[in-house]
Structure 1
Amino acid sequence: MTIPSFDLRVARSGRSMHIAPCGELDIATTPELEQALTEATTEAVAEIVLDLRELTFMDSTGLRALAQANAGADERGVTLSIIRGPRQIERVLEISGLGALLPLVDAPQ
């Protein structure tokens, strides 16, 4: 049995935090993303950029993490930008209705 790969890249620049989950975001890997998002909102950052471009899969636990990140950022006055992922990730957001509620942005050029 092959274990799906997952990596989480976190980089801070000044008061901005860039978080990029890579691979499959599911029940086994979502806690790692949630921890990074919690740490980002409790640190003195003004902006969190969540980059979904390298996700290959996302289940309902990933959706929950995105919704909670959005709520947490609002509560703390932190700007959250979520860079759109591949088509299959966009489809999950669209079907769930969450895509209309999240601050989704196109990838920087």
Structure 2
Amino acid sequence: MEMTITESGPGTAVLKPVGRLNMASAPHFKEGIRVALGRGFTRIVVDLSEIDFMDSSGLGAIINGLKSAREQGGELRLAAVSWQAGLVLKLTNMDQVLSVHEDARTAFADV
């Protein structure tokens, strides 16, 4: 899995993983969250538009990222969720727990 981290505003970073977010790539994703938080970004947007497969390990990595962000006084939100990732969120009811937005630009528009 490839992933980019870009700044989208003061204190806000967008992580955009590409490919599969699963057991093999979850540690890389968690490291990306750690790097973003280490750089002082407390608002994390995870753009899932280019995730073509996500399993429970990927979902667990996202939840771990939410917990890490909140421990630093921040927040993690999802944006542009692909169909397959959205299905995983819906089947697990995590779409009720995680904040899901249409695109990365508007994920923190309310702040």
- TM tier, shorter chain? 0.7 to 0.9
Query: For residue 23 of structure 2, what is the amino acid of its counterpart?
Result: I
Unaligned runs of 5+ in 2: 107-111
1:43, 1:20 → 2: CA distance? 16
TM-score norm. by structure 1 comes to 0.85
- 1:17 alignment partner in structure 2: 13
Quick check: 2:45–2:76 contact (8 Å CA) kept in 1? Answer: yes
2:48 aligned with 1:52: yes
Quick check: 2:42–2:69 contact (8 Å CA) kept in 1? Answer: no
TM-superposed CA distance for 1:69, in Å, is: 1.0
Misfit runs of 4+, over 3 Å: none
- 1:31 alignment partner in structure 2: 27
> Does the residue aligned with 2:88 lie in a helix, a strand or coil?
helix
> Does the residue aligned with 2:49 lie in a helix, a strand or coil?
coil
Matched pairs, number? 104
TM-superposed CA distance for 1:43, in Å, is: 2.7
Query: For residue 6 of structure 2, what is the amino acid of its counterpart?
Result: A
> Does the residue aligned with 1:89 lie in a helix, a strand or coil?
helix
TM-superposed CA distance for 1:25, in Å, is: 0.9
Q: 52-61 or 6-15: which moved more?
A: 6-15
TM-superposed CA distance for 1:95, in Å, is: 0.5
Query: For residue 55 of structure 1, what is the amino acid of its counterpart?
Result: I
Unaligned runs of 5+ in 1: 1-5
The CA RMSD over aligned residues, in Å, is 1.7
% identical aligned pairs: 26
> Does the residue aligned with 1:56 lie in a helix, a strand or coil?
strand
Q: 99-108 or 6-15: which moved more?
A: 6-15
1:55, 1:46 → 2: CA distance? 23
TM-superposed CA distance for 1:12, in Å, is: 2.7
Quick check: 1:15–1:47 contact (8 Å CA) kept in 2? Answer: yes
1:7, 1:79 → 2: CA distance? 23
